[in-house]
Structures are given as structure tokens and as C-alpha cells.
Amino acid sequence: STEGILFLVNRGQKVTKRYVPPDLVVPRVDTRKQGMDERIMLRQEAALALENLFQAAKSEGNHVLYAASGYRSFGSQQVLFDAKVKERGKDRAQRTVAPPGASEHQLGLAMDVQCPAQLNLNQDFAQTDEGKWLAANAHRFGFVIRYQAEWRDVTGYTYEPWHIRYLGIAHASALYRLN
């Protein structure tokens, strides 16, 4: 069911226009600018894990992470997708933005992450100290880097080192070990 944290959403398995996670909260984490609370909501379990992840990044390596985009409604995703289609055409847009109903953000279990050295969501994030730390440690807090470069043919998305998906510690650690 969509209530479970392992629910798979993609172009082939979508959530309805009406789906809203039941327990959205604002995690107590840093954002790049004030007033982004509405944009960084996650389901409660994922929000607590994100807080722990951000705190560990700070205490273990003095890494500063910013939450950039968490829960997105079907309607918000529609606006984002339509804008990208207009800018790049449908084929190219679909490699970088999920169509409405097909986004992990609508589940309230995904977060896009930034750092002071990389305030845009692009692949350069992977080369930052924060990006390297995140890739090596996210699983300890129940997150995975969801769209890996080597799995592009499977996921249908380009590499997104900034997009983390909450699966819980056991599942995220298993995926990390198995690549």
C-alpha cells in the first residue's frame, strides 16, 4: 500500500491525484533560505531520519546540508513537469522530471539536498565533500541515492546525486551493500 515506506512509484506504477501522505511534518533541518518549511515536508519517520542524517553530517565532517525539496503534491509535480517539457521537449524532460503521479516526492519519502558549495540541483553535487559524505553514509540513516548513473536504463532517469529516498535503515543498508 502507499502507506508503506517501501512503496515503489515510477512511470509504470503511479499514485493517484488525491494521494497525500497521512503524517507529513516539517523536519528541523537547515534550508538555503528562510520560509521553505512548506517545501521540505516529509513523512514523520523520514523527517526524523533526515534530522539525524543532517546532524551526523555536521558532527562527523562539519558538512552543511540543506533540504531543498521534499513532499510535492500531484499538482505541484504537474506544474514542474509541464515547465520542463516546455523548456526541453517531452523526451528530455522525462529523463530529469517525473510526470505527475510518478514522483517519489509525492510519497513524502524523498528529499533533494544541497550544500553551500552547490546550490543548484545538478550532478556537480557528487563532487562536493557533502555529496561524497552523503553517498557513503545516507544508508546509515535509512536513505539511498535513488537515481544512480549506472542504473539509468532501469530507472529511466539521469544521475541525481542530490535525490535521496527513505527506505528505512535495514533496506537502505542492504541496497547500499548490493549496489
Catalytic machinery residues = 160
E-strand spans in 102-154? 110-114, 143-147
Cα distance between residue 64 and residue 68, in whole Å: 13
Q: Rounded to an integer, what distance in angstroms lies between the CA atom of residue 48 and that of residue 156? A: 29
Instruction: With H, G, I as helix, E, B as strand and everything else as coil, classify residue 35.
Output: coil
Instruction: Please report, for residues 26, 41, 117, the alpha-carbon distance to residue 121 in angstroms, rounded to integers and kept in the order given.
Output: 21, 18, 11
CA atoms of 177 and 76, how far apart (whole Å):
34
Helix 44-61 × helix 129-137 angle, to 10°: 120
3-class DSSP state for residue 121? coil
